[in-house]
Amino acid sequence: MPVDRAAVVEGLRDHDEEIREYGESDSDTLEAYRTVLAETLGTLEADGLTAEIPKDDYPGALPTTEWNDYDNPLVPFEQSAEWNNHEAVNEFAHEALSGVTTVGVDGSELGPTREFTVPLGLVQTAWVANHHRTGGAYDRDTRTRVLGPTAVTQPADDSGDRRYPDGRAPGHERYREEARAVVDCIERYADADSLTVVCYDGPLVPTFANTLGAEVRDEVYRASMARVLAASQHHEVPVIGYTAGSSRTSLSKLLRRAEPDRLGSESLVPDAQILNDWREQWGDRSLAFVHRQDGTVDGLETVYEGREYEFGHEVLFTYLAVGDGPGMDYVEFPAWIARAGLTDTVLNVVRAETGIGRGYPEILQQADTDAVLDAGDEQEFLRLVTEYADDVDLPLELDAKELSKRRRRR
């Protein structure tokens, strides 16, 4: 039966105040963090602030040399101060992207299937490259990979004889395939005559994987992203990890660690809320910081093209004001970009893509469109599996219970 709309509205009304409180920080706490940030920025050099943090500690973030170069924590994007319509954004984007190749990578997954007595899965990864030349010039490709029963199940006990479907497994494989696609794109455009910027839909440091088992966390998430970072540095092809909106508290954590007497008893607040006090116009960004949220970043190690890479202090992040609301988007990028003096160039490319995409990188929107698997694709996958099983006489039987549920829901 359909959802009771009146009951939903009434239920939301019951939680109105709770929702408001959850989404907002206490004004006094927020002001305390802003005060400490302003005072610390004005009195401590980056080296001095870093020296107060134990070397192997995880204070959320560490300052870069930009900390010494600016009077406030946001780098103003003065170019947009006089803009009064979207045409101005388009003109900036056209200039910033002319001759630049932007690449977007995204993926989607299905499964484990419940329609058969043997579980299966499907991962689809897409990449799109826009060369931003007159008349349009795109490269794009979509890769589809079927996941067998072993890939989408976990052992039920130590013997491994019995297995059960793992609902998270297709997502793990999708992540691995996305990282492979990013590396392939970096290698593909490594010798290009003009700048190439590869955009990944998500963070470059997979802290979210810490809740997973050590094997999956290390072999799928950390190993995959370490290879992405190594390929980017080796070939000098910028890669950025883009996250729309953010409730991260990395800067907040650093400030509390730097001033424990003043902030030690305060709860952490989202960095974007602290920074918004200095925001003036579209395109403003925070200072760049070194990513030191937790041990994930120290676990990013790999060998690429015969060279060993470690990224413990080699991933930077910034917050970017490119949406219509007060929120700020979160961008991660390798530290070699800053050392090469390319930070502003690369971030202008990101600004331009978000301007065209009305708040989210257009190139990532295109990749998502190519990668997404919807209900129609799921039905087609099931049909193809059924036909193939019949053709080659595979022991793949339909699950009567699941089929019955589907019939009742039609």
Q: Where are the domains of the chain?
A: 25-373
Helices (H), 15-99: 16-23, 27-43, 46-51, 66-69, 86-97
CA-CA distance, 311 to 297, in Å (whole number)? 6
Q: Residue 177: left if φ>0, alpha if ψ -120 to 50, beta else—which one?
A: alpha
User: Quick one: which of 5, 33, 14 has its CA closest to 250?
Assistant: 33
pLDDT at position 388 is: 87
293 in Cβ contact with 355 (< 8 Å): no
For CA atoms 364, 365, 370, 373, give the dihedral sign.
positive
pLDDT at position 257 is: 93
pLDDT at position 136 is: 72
Helix (H) or strand (E) holding 370: helix 362-371
State pLDDT tens for residues 288-309. Answer: 999 999 999 999 999 999 999 9
Tens of pLDDT along the chain (410 residues)? 466 677 777 777 777 766 655 555 588 999 999 999 999 999 999 999 999 888 778 999 999 999 999 999 999 999 999 898 889 999 999 999 999 999 999 999 999 998 888 899 999 999 999 999 877 789 999 999 999 999 999 887 666 567 889 999 999 999 999 999 999 999 999 999 999 999 999 999 999 999 999 999 999 999 999 999 999 999 999 999 999 988 999 999 999 999 999 999 999 999 999 999 999 999 999 999 999 999 999 999 999 999 999 999 999 999 999 987 778 999 999 999 999 999 999 999 999 999 999 999 999 999 999 999 999 999 999 989 988 888 888 777 765 445 445 544 44
Count the neighbouring beta carbons within 10 Å of the beta carbon of residue 72: 16
- Strands 196-201, 239-243: pairing is parallel
First to last CA, the chain: 11
Count the neighbouring beta carbons within 10 Å of the beta carbon of residue 203: 22
Residue type, 258: A
- Taking each helix axis from N to C end, the angle separating 250-258 and 27-43, rounded to the nearest 10 degrees, works out to 70
Which DSSP letter does residue 349 get? H
pLDDT at position 404 is: 47
